[in-house]
Chains A and B, each alone.
Chain A
Amino acid sequence: EAGVAQSPRYKIIEKRQSVAFWCNPISGHATLYWYQQILGQGPKLLIQFQNNGVVDDSQLPKDRFSAERLKGVDSTLKIQPAKLEDSAVYLCASSLVGLAGEQFFGPGTRLTVL
C-alpha cells in the first residue's frame, strides 16, 4: 500500500513570493490534514478536509494561506505572499473517516523563506 505522497520535498523562496504544496493521500482515506511544524514544536493543524469539504480551518491564516481538495483526493496548500515566519515543514496526513487519531503522515515539505 502506497503511503502519503507530497511534493516538493524542499522549497526555498524569497519573502512575498508565493508557493504551493501538493499532497496525495493513501487510497481510500477520505480525511486529509495539512499541518505546519515549526522547528522544535509539534505539528499544528492548518486545515482538515473530509472528501472535498472543509471540516476545520480555524487555524489557517486565511489572509495568506489557501487550500483545496477539489475531487476529494489530491490537495494543494498555497501561501501567497510568504513571510519569514512561514519557514517550517508542511506535513500532509490522511486517515479513515472517524479515525483522526490514526493518521498517516507524508514526508513533508521543508519551506525556507528568505
Chain B
Amino acid sequence: QKEVEQNSGPLSVPEGAIASLNCTYSDRGSQSFFWYRQYSGKSPELIMSIYSNGDKEDGRFTAQLNKASQYVSLLIRDSQPSDSATYLCAVNAGANNLFFGTGTRLTVIP
C-alpha cells in the first residue's frame, strides 16, 4: 500500500515568515514528487515538481527532496495571506499516476 503522509495542520505563520510543509512517502521506488495547492472550494493546481535529491527553487517556493529519508518538503518564503490554502503532496511511484497526501492547511496571518 503506497502511502503519502502529511501533517494536516492547520499551520499558522505570520505574514512575511517562512512556511515549512513536510511530507513523507512509503514507496522507495517513487520517482517524482509534486506539490499542489488547493484553495478552499477550488481544485488542486500544480505549483512545484522535483525529481532529484536536493533543492529546487521557483520564486518564493523551494521544494526539497531526500530520497534516502523518503522525505519531501516545501518552503514558502515571505509568506503572503494569498498563500493561505491546503498544500497537497503527491508522489508518482512509477505507475504513471499520483498518490496524494491528505494535505496541510496553511493560514498566513496578516
Contacts and interface: CB of A to CB of B under 8 A. Distances in A.
Interface of A: 33, 40-45, 48, 55-56, 91, 98, 100-108
Given A42-B102, A101-B49, A106 B97 contact: no
Given A55-B96, A107-B43, 13 more contacts: A40-B8, A41-B103, A42-B90, A43-B88, A45-B97, A91-B44, A98-B96, A100-B97, A101-B92, A101-B98, A105-B43, A106-B43, A108-B43
Contacts of B32: 101
A41 B42 CA distance: 14
B46 A43 contact: no
A24 B66 CA distance: 37
B68 interface: no
Which 3 pairs, one residue from A and one from B, show the smallest C-beta to C-beta distance? A42-B100, A105-B43, A100-B96
A101 to B, nearest CB: 5
**A interface secondary structure, majority:** loop
A44 B90 CA distance: 11
9 contacts: A42-B4, A42-B90, A43-B100, A45-B99, A48-B97, A91-B43, A101-B98, A102-B49, A106-B43
B101 to A, nearest CB: 5
A21 B98 CA distance: 22
B13 to A, nearest CB: 21
B90 A101 contact: yes
B43 A41 contact: no
Contact of A42 (B88, B95, B96, B97): B88
B92 A42 contact: no
Contacts of B45: 105
A105 B36 CA distance: 11
